[in-house]
């Protein structure tokens, strides 16, 4: 059982919002304030494989998160490791409010797919999401680490956790308003 399957207990302090089947969570090793991710409450390997009965709820949440971040922070980049190089083997879609892009790095290891299939990297802003086929070796948490470098944040996750509590509280206050 992975940590996201136990979110209700293990991540209870960082859950920003919950619906019937999903949690919106503030990243515990955040890259910026407002770095959120979305997870299903049930175990699921990646979002592309998720049953379509959840899509309406899932897509409504994505819209809600993007609207919140646009309003309070910046238009977020969305990214997901679709089974490949996951740090936790449970679907999680990141929302990173930033104007920075890591597309040039992604293009060194992956090529866009016309028809999405697993394994994949998902990357882009809402309305401009692309699925990539990974053709070179990448390390676990590749997208997260690449953004850490780009944003000049500590590569070691534990060092990023120092900011998590304060940022999480700020976000929760704004979300609950």
Among 12, 43, 63, 169, binds Zn ion (CB under 5 A): 43
* Residue 111 · residue 87 · CB < 8 Å: no
Minimum distance, C-beta of residue 114 to Zn ion, in the bound complex (Å)? 30
Q: Where are the beta strands (DSSP E) in the chain?
A: 15-18, 22-26, 36-40, 76-82, 93-97, 110-112, 120-125, 130-134
DSSP character at residue 39: E
- String marking each residue 4-23 x if it binds Zn ion according to CB under 5 A: xx------------------
Stretch near Zn ion under the rule CB under 5 A, chosen from 18-26, 74-82, 85-93, 105-113? 85-93
Minimum distance, C-beta of residue 153 to Zn ion, in the bound complex (Å)? 26
Token readout for 60 is 């409504």
Stretch near Zn ion under the rule CB under 5 A, chosen from 2-10, 58-66, 67-75, 149-157? 2-10
Among 26, 81, 90, 160, binds Zn ion (CB under 5 A): 90
Give Dmax over CA atoms of the chain in angstroms: 44
Residue 2 makes contact with Zn ion by CB under 5 A: yes
Residues 6+ apart with CB under 8 A from 40: 21, 22, 50, 54, 58, 90, 91
Residue 166 makes contact with Zn ion by CB under 5 A: no
Q: Would you tell me which residues interact with Zn ion (CB under 5 A)?
A: 2, 4-5, 43, 90
């Amino acid at each position: 059982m992975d940590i996201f399957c136990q979110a209700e207990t293990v991540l209870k302090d960082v859950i920003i919002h919950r619906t019937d089947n999903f949690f919106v969570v503030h990243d515990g090793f955040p890259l910026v304030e407002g770095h959120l991710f979305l997870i299903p409450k049930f175990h699921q390997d990646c979002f592309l494989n998720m049953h379509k009965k959840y899509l309406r709820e899932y897509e409504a949440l994505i819209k809600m998160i993007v609207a919140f971040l646009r309003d309070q922070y910046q238009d977020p980049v969305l990214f997901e490791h679709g089974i490949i190089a996951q740090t936790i083997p449970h679907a999680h879609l990141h929302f990173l409010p930033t104007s920075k892009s890591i597309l040039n790095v992604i293009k060194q290891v992956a090529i866009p797919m016309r028809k999405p299939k697993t394994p994949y990297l998902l990357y882009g802003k809402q309305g401009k999401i692309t699925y990539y086929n990974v053709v070179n070796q990448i390390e676990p948490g590749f997208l997260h680490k690449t953004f850490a470098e780009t944003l000049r944040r500590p590569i070691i996750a534990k060092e990023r956790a120092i900011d998590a509590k304060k940022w999480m509280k700020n976000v929760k206050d704004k979300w609950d308003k």
